[in-house]
């Protein structure tokens, strides 16, 4: 199990943008992870008008589970974790309209396909044991030095 304080070593998200509470289990050989997020009004996606987080934001919960999984893998290999970006969400099915404040969302992520530096993961979110979201995310990892060089070239 990996608690919130240790998550900060594995992903760049902080404050309201940190959308994981802990990692319950992971397997770097199988490239899968099970984590959870406790929804609070502090979440960056929290909407007081609906008393929760819209379900479409669940893709970011899953993306952070993916980020932690790759961070754990790199840590085990003795390599600094790379930055990653969501390239696309080829599929996402939502069974609920929102994640209510106070709910605990169980997240699952698993590598489906890899063609370095682009990876496809499947992801699921569960509430009280029932599947609330399922989908696929395509992500790309980048070397931080190359990213910094690109930003300088673009004047950013």
Q: Which of the residue ranges 45-49, 64-68, 79-83 would you say has the lowest mean pLDDT?
A: 79-83
Q: What is the pLDDT of residue 27?
A: 97
pTM beyond cutoff 0.85: yes
Q: Looking at residue 153, what is its pLDDT?
A: 66
CATH number of the domain where residue 7 is located: 3.10.129.10
Range of the domain at 73: 2-153
Dihedral angle sign, alpha carbons of residues 104, 110, 112, 118:
positive
* Distance, CA of 101 to CA of 38 (rounded, Å): 8
* Predicted pLDDT at 148: 59
Quick check: 84 pLDDT over 80?
A: yes
Number of domains making up the chain: 1
Backbone angles phi, psi at 79, to 5 degrees: -115, 140
pLDDT at 104 over 90: yes
């Amino acid at each position: 199990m990996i608690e919130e304080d240790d998550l900060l070593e594995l992903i760049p998200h902080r404050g309201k943008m940190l959308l994981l509470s802990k990692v319950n289990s992971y397997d770097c050989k199988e490239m899968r992870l099970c984590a959870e997020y406790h929804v609070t009004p502090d979440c960056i996606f929290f909407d007081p008008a609906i008393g929760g987080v819209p379900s479409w934001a669940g893709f970011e919960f899953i993306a952070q589970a993916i980020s932690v999984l790759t961070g754990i893998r790199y840590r085990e290999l003795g390599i600094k974790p790379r930055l990653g970006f969501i390239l696309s969400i080829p599929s996402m099915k939502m069974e609920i309209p929102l994640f209510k404040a106070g709910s605990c969302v169980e997240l699952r992520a698993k590598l489906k396909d890899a063609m370095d530096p682009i990876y496809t993961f499947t992801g699921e979110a569960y509430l009280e044991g029932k599947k609330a979201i399922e989908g696929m995310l395509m992500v790309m990892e980048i070397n931080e030095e190359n990213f910094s060089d690109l930003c300088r070239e673009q004047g950013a």
